[in-house]
Amino acid sequence: MALTDFDLVLFGGSGDLAMRKLLPAMYSRDVCGDLPATARIICVGRQDCGQDEFIDIVNNTSKPLIKAPAVTPEAWARFTARIVYVSLNATDAGTYAPLVEALRTDGAITRVYYLATPPHLFAQICDNLKENGLATKNSRVVLEKPLGRDLASAKQINAEVGQVFEESQIYRIDHYLGKETVQNLLALRFGNILFEPLWRREWISDVQITIAEKLGVGNRIGYYDTSGALRDMLQNHLLQLLCIVAMEPPTSIAPDAVRDEKLQVLRSLKKFTPATLAQNIVRGQYRAGHVDGQAVPGYRDEPDAPERSRTETFVAMKAEIDTWRWAGVPFYLRTGKRMADSLAEIVVRFKQIPHSIFNQPTNSFQPNCLVIRLQPDEGLRMNLMAKTPGEGMRLKPAELELDFRETFKSPRMDAYERLLLDVLRGQLTLFMRGDELEAAWEWVEPILKHWEQDESLPTPYASGTWGPAAASALIGRDGLQWREEA
């Protein structure tokens, strides 16, 4: 479906996200011919600089980050001609005149406000847009994470933005939902007859969801130290993946059909109490170590890190979903920085065969396992038992593999490219609804509260490892191992 003409307004237009992700994503779509000839990107920033000066910043900051499609002088010139820089103070409605002037008033032109700003500015920006007559019925607003830091602040954001925009105009981004494999998981579950009958407690023994990064906190300490892995990754990205794995089949791919089912999963997550929480959650903080053979500093030695920071850079937990489908099936969730490898994957392990007809004991059969790999290489892998060639009947684990890159040679799309196109097309399915956001915060809130009161420190782990030993013990207690450690 071709896009209609649009004005995409980026608040935080000279910030990190715009430069690193949003502008490169729009460039890529431009080169692929998706953007209407007169579509524009209006970058809003506080910085008092002229148009040429701003384009210089984009040339120096954003352009070098674009690897593919290659930047050619013609394509880049066409792209930067779409960019308009508007300087204003987002918190002062009286300074919005240049934005009013820059926006086209033709109602047929899609108008999107992308708030790539700290969340405490969301309400004020929405009010100021309204005051200046810019929050029209046809406009859309995109909210970038962090979407609050607890249930109360998330509710406040929902309420305040909701005063200006209808729910159907609000796009809450979780970029993990824009990743190719997440949608492939929907295709796998609901485009094949094979999995659905087995996708339940009778046949599945456990599910592991891991997002591991080799990167440390980098230059984001100011934000990260007030956030930590639970808020930064688990409350959003990991829970969204869990929802897609665990939800009941929606009746269609329509936004509310999918979001209703995800909401049910979030509401069915078993609540932690202080006692169950201590048993089922491990938090860690990285110390100095080696990643890819390079010595790296510990979290507290990162520039500007508080000496006694108690912020967790790693979380592992055992979660459960209280429904007929999933009762008793552990969902092990794990995320961390400065880990042994960078990967994101979902592992669905099926149960052991009930009886061996071969001359091998039942426990020599590796249970079937479906690995859904989000990154670095996107694909699906199914572990099966197969006969080794030759005489006799000896069975060994073998793999069926679907490498998306190999199978579908078509060009890739980055998560932000896909999600930006969805916003511009008005497709809400891959965006969180307000009640989903609140349900996710509601579930993590007891953990946050407990950690606030608990004087103990996160368990240290050496950079370049899979986290604290306690994380292996957590899953080991159930007779299992994390996949990378098996």
316-355: which residues touch ligand BG6 (CB under 6 A)? 344
Question: Would you say 341 and 485 are in contact if contact means Cβ atoms under 8 Å apart?
Answer: no
91-120: which residues touch ligand BG6 (CB under 6 A)? none
| CB-nearer residue toward ligand BG6: 96 or 466 | 466
> Cβ of residue 232: shortest distance to ligand BG6, in angstroms?
5
Give the up-direction half-sphere exposure of residue 211: CA atoms within 13 A in the CB hemisphere: 17
| CB-nearer residue toward ligand BG6: 330 or 467 | 467
Please check if 290 is assigned to a binding site: no
| 144 touching ligand BG6, by CB under 6 A | no
| 417 touching ligand BG6, by CB under 6 A | no
Please check if 21 is assigned to a binding site: no
Question: Would you say 41 and 26 are in contact if contact means Cβ atoms under 8 Å apart?
Answer: yes
Q: Residue type for 3, please? A: L
The secondary structure of 223-255 as a DSSP string is: HHTTT-HIIIIIIIIIHHHHHHHHPPPPSSSSH
Alpha-carbon gap, residue 86 to 102, rounded angstroms = 8
Instruction: With both helix axes pointing from N to C terminus, report the angle between 434-453 and 239-246 in degrees, rounded to the nearest 10.
Output: 130
| CB-nearer residue toward ligand BG6: 7 or 180 | 180
Eight-class DSSP state of 110: E
Instruction: With both helix axes pointing from N to C terminus, report the angle between 151-162 and 434-453 in degrees, rounded to the nearest 10.
Output: 150
| CB-nearer residue toward ligand BG6: 135 or 305 | 305
| 213 touching ligand BG6, by CB under 6 A | yes
# binding residues, ligand BG6 (CB under 6 A): 3
Question: Would you say 458 and 283 are in contact if contact means Cβ atoms under 8 Å apart?
Answer: yes
Please check if 46 is assigned to a binding site: yes
| CB-nearer residue toward ligand BG6: 213 or 438 | 213
Please check if 179 is assigned to a binding site: yes
> Cβ of residue 210: shortest distance to ligand BG6, in angstroms?
11
178-207: which residues touch ligand BG6 (CB under 6 A)? none
| 225 touching ligand BG6, by CB under 6 A | no
Q: Which residue in the list 237, 290, 355, 450 is annotated as catalytic? A: 237
Alpha-carbon gap, residue 317 to 208, rounded angstroms = 10
- 355 tagged catalytic: no
Please check if 483 is assigned to a binding site: no
Taking alpha carbons only, the member of 306, 280, 345, 316 closest to residue 461 is: 316
The secondary structure of 113-167 as a DSSP string is: EEE-S-GGGHHHHHHHHHHTT---TTEEEEEPSP--SSHHHHHHHHHHHHTTS-G
> Cβ of residue 113: shortest distance to ligand BG6, in angstroms?
21
Please check if 175 is assigned to a binding site: yes
Q: Which 3 state secondary structure label does DSSP give 377?
A: coil
| 232 touching ligand BG6, by CB under 6 A | yes
Annotated binding-site residues for substrate read 175, 179, 213, 232, 337
Active site residues: 237
Residues at the site binding ligand BG6, with contacts judged by CB under 6 A:
213, 232, 344
